[in-house]
Amino acid sequence: MPDDDAKPADLDLKGKSTIEILAAIDMFSGLPATHLKRVVDIGLEEQYKSSATIFAEGSPGDKFYLIVDGAVRISRIVPGMGEEALAVLRPGAYFGEMSLIDDAPRSATAVCHERCKLFVVNRKDLEDLLFVDRDLAYELLWNWVRTLSRRLRATNDKMTFLATTSKF
């Protein structure tokens, strides 16, 4: 699920290349331009109209998405209540990254909140790239470990807050 790490504050992407956009997000920050170019080379661009479903909760996950333009709503269906919006992500934010790591079904639904352009990386293509470029694999996987560690710490802090304020 997305969190604060996935939502860069006021990121201006006008006129930026996909490499520059990737370099600005935590999962790819600090990687040399040559490694970022290799990731860009295996990615593709997808465009969606407003209200189009990008993927549904429970569906198989096999892609990572970076928002280049537009907005995407991440939500879950709560039985008896309907849709619960978790976040509206804007340019520079990313989602679907958990599908690059595990084979679990999607944990939420992603819907195009407004017309959008996405940079997309397929898991199989990334696995193939990481297999042949061990240096990239090493650096990228350590970035992901740090990202996941920050997210786990933030979740722990939120759970502690909710438990101590009796809002849990």
Domain ranges of the chain: 4-164
Cα–Cα distance for residue pair 19/101, rounded to 1 Å: 22
Per CATH, the number for 4-164 is 2.60.120.10
What is the residue-level pLDDT of the chain in tens, covering all 168 positions? 444 444 444 455 666 888 888 898 888 888 999 999 999 999 999 999 999 999 999 999 999 999 999 999 999 988 888 888 889 999 989 999 888 888 899 999 999 999 999 999 999 999 999 999 999 999 998 988 888 888 889 889 888 988 888 765
Q: What is the CA radius of gyration of the chain?
A: 16
Cα–Cα distance for residue pair 33/94, rounded to 1 Å: 19
Question: What's the predicted TM-score (pTM) here?
Answer: 0.81
Burial code of 74-87, b = ≥16 C-beta within 10 A, e = fewer? bbeeeeeeeeeebb
Cα–Cα distance for residue pair 8/16, rounded to 1 Å: 15
